Structure 1
Amino acid sequence: MAIDRNLDLVKIAPMAKPPVCRIMDYGKYKYEQAKKEKEARKNQKVVNVKEIRLSPNIEEHDMQVKANQAIKFLKAGDKVKVTLRFRGRQLANIGLGQRVMDAFKEILSEAGNVEKAAKMEGRQLIMFIAPKP
């Protein structure tokens, strides 16, 4: 029947009892599948993660400059990873770093939501901020 209609006989479910086959134009089917995949890729939004590095003894103006950069990233639709690295004796004063992170979070409250709260990982405090929808 497939040869009479100039079409292809395609096995859809070869493991079924009995196997399921379909008469179709396989070339046209593959073309439409590729077209659908291309359209899905075009509509897909790629979210990048940008990183902002802070230190526990950062000055107010420096923090404002970093916050403006982070706001720019969030408005572009990217997530922001805020890293605060402790060096040497600074590890004894983790509370100071936590206050810096809280102040940074407060500055960014209009542009983004905290996705993952500040957490110590080794010598670093790490926080993730996602853009507001």
Structure 2
Amino acid sequence: MAIISKYNNQQTNDDLVNEKIRFKEVLVIDQNGDQLGVMSRNQALHTASNANLDLVCVAPKAATPVCRIMDYGKYRFEQQKKQKEMKKNSKVVSLKETQLSPTIDVHDKNVKLKRTIKMLEAGDKVKVAVRFRGRQLAHIDIGQKILEDFVAECADYCIVEKPAKMEGRTLIAILAPKKK
């Protein structure tokens, strides 16, 4: 007697359900959570079909693979619901960038400072970069001073996740928003 699952077209590749289970013996748990003991695969499939439910392998890597008798459609629905809930509750933090130069004027710096503070208040991380061009590389200390001042003015809204470091022709620091 072959048991054909009505869920075959919806399965993901890693789901072991009914006929896809290829172990000789499995530990069977019924729909109420009671252990029925170690059975042959065919006997477990027969038990599941008598209950009009599916045999789902929940722990294939155990010494004796564990299979559970349950409604597979309901199980998949619950798993998808959990994944959606986890996705909804997770906050995606994006990395925004603010570019400065060693010759930046006070007003321009204040405009970029306000914009950076808005990004931090929105919960985004900010990468502050000071780009050096040509002969400006001879005066990295000026760029470091500008970056230190910029970070000091943002100190109420952020913590320094990665301190200032030269990467090529750019001095970079990463700021993360403070927890509220």
Q: Specify the TM-score bucket, using the shorter chain as the normaliser.
A: over 0.9
Query: Which residue number corresponds to residue 105 of structure 1?
Result: 151
- Supply the distance in 2 between the matched residues of 1:14 and 1:77 (Cα, whole angstroms): 41
C-alpha RMSD over aligned residues = 1.2
Q: Kindly tell me: are residues 14 and 103 of structure 1, through their superposed partners in 2, closer, same or farther at Cα, counting changes over 3 Å?
A: closer
SS of equivalent residue, structure 1 residue 83: strand
Q: Does residue 115 of the first structure (1) align with residue 166 of the second (2)?
A: no
CA drift of 1:15 comes to 4.8
Q: Distance in 2 between matches of 1:114 and 1:74?
A: 12
| 2:21 corresponding residue in structure 1 | none
TM-score, length basis structure 1 = 0.95
Q: Which amino acid aligns with 1:10?
A: V
Structure 2 counterpart of 1:75, from 115, 121, 126: 121
Q: Cα offset for 1:14?
A: 3.8
Q: Could you say if the C-alpha distance between residues 83 and 31 of structure 1 is closer, same or farther in structure 2, counting changes exceeding 3 Å? A: same
Instruction: Output the TM-score relative to the length of structure 2.
Output: 0.71
Query: In the comparison of the two structures, how many residue pairs are matched?
Result: 133
**TM superposition shift of 1:30:** 0.4
What are the ranges of 5 or more consecutive residues in structure 1 without an aligned counterpart?
none
Matched, 1:132 2:171: no
Distance 2:62 2:119 in 1: 52
Hey, what does 2:78 align to over in structure 1?
32
Identity level (%): 58
- Mind listing any 5+ residue stretches in structure 2 that lack a counterpart? 1-46
Deviation at 1:16, TM superposition (A): 4.2
